[in-house]
């Protein structure tokens, strides 16, 4: 027997199809080159269906970004719970680097949109709110690992979180023109210096 779904369920399904299609189009073409027509075609809908769900191309992207920020925050807390303190920062850095390198196109996409939104006051406010949530997620992570380590942070956690994010974005841009990406080990040494991380890991100290 065919199961009928409600109108609200159908609307939600359509929205999900549009978001998945938009993500593919944005990653393939970038924010500026992507169009709502392309997103609609990728999802198998008319452009009118897109406008029934979203105000604009920027609205579609910000919805995707909001999801991404929430997913990252959840993963950060899970990661923090698995660590014993700053002595295990090597595990933390390895995981963060793995996530960052897994989809470099997304990092560049966010940077591209950030520049675009900076020229539009309304969009910039919306982006800033999501960026603020991303910073808060990193602050929560740092608060947990510093508290467990017993080490005093060298600066306010918000300052550290902001500079860590800036370092990551800057490295992604530099990799675009570099002959080879900056080795993770070098970035790790920079992060250690910024965060005042002990030079020996918790595991190494226990072995001694």
State the pLDDT at residue 89. 66
Residue 98 burial (CB count, 10 A): 10
State the pLDDT at residue 206. 45
Backbone torsions φ then ψ of 83, nearest 5 degrees: -100, 155
Numbered ranges of CATH 1.10.357.10 in the chain: 57-207
What is the fold of 57-207? Tetracycline Repressor; domain 2 (1.10.357)
What is the fold of 1-54? Arc Repressor Mutant, subunit A (1.10.10)
Q: Is the pTM of this model over 0.85?
A: no
State the pLDDT at residue 186. 74
Mean pLDDT by 10-residue block, N- to C-terminus, for the chain (208 residues)?
71 92 96 96 93 94 94 80 63 66 83 95 95 90 80 90 84 80 71 67 45
Q: Tell me how far apart the alpha carbons of residues 142 and 162 are, in angstroms, rounded to a whole number.
A: 12
Numbered ranges of CATH 1.10.10.60 in the chain: 1-54
Residue 171 burial (CB count, 10 A): 19
State the pLDDT at residue 195. 74
């Amino acid at each position: 027997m065919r199961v009928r779904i409600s109108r609200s369920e159908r609307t939600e399904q359509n929205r999900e199809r549009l978001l998945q299609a938009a993500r593919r189009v944005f990653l393939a073409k970038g924010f500026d080159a992507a169009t709502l027509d392309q997103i609609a075609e990728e999802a198998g809908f008319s452009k009118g269906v897109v406008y029934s769900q979203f105000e604009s191309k920027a609205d579609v992207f910000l919805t995707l970004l909001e999801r991404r920020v929430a997913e990252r925050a959840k993963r950060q807390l899970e990661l923090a719970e698995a660590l014993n303190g700053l002595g295990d920062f090597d595990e933390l850095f390895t995981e963060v680097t793995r996530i960052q390198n897994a989809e470099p196109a997304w990092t560049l996409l966010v940077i591209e949109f950030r520049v675009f939104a900076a020229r539009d006051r309304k969009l910039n406010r919306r982006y800033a709110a999501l960026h603020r949530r991303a910073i808060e997620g990193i602050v929560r992570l740092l608060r947990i690992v510093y508290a467990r380590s017993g080490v005093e942070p060298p600066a306010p956690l918000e300052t550290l979180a902001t500079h860590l994010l800036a370092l990551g974005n800057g490295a992604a841009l530099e990799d675009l023109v570099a002959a080879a990406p900056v080795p993770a080990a070098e970035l790790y040494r920079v992060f250690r210096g910024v965060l005042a991380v002990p030079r020996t890991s918790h595991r190494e100290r226990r072995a001694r």
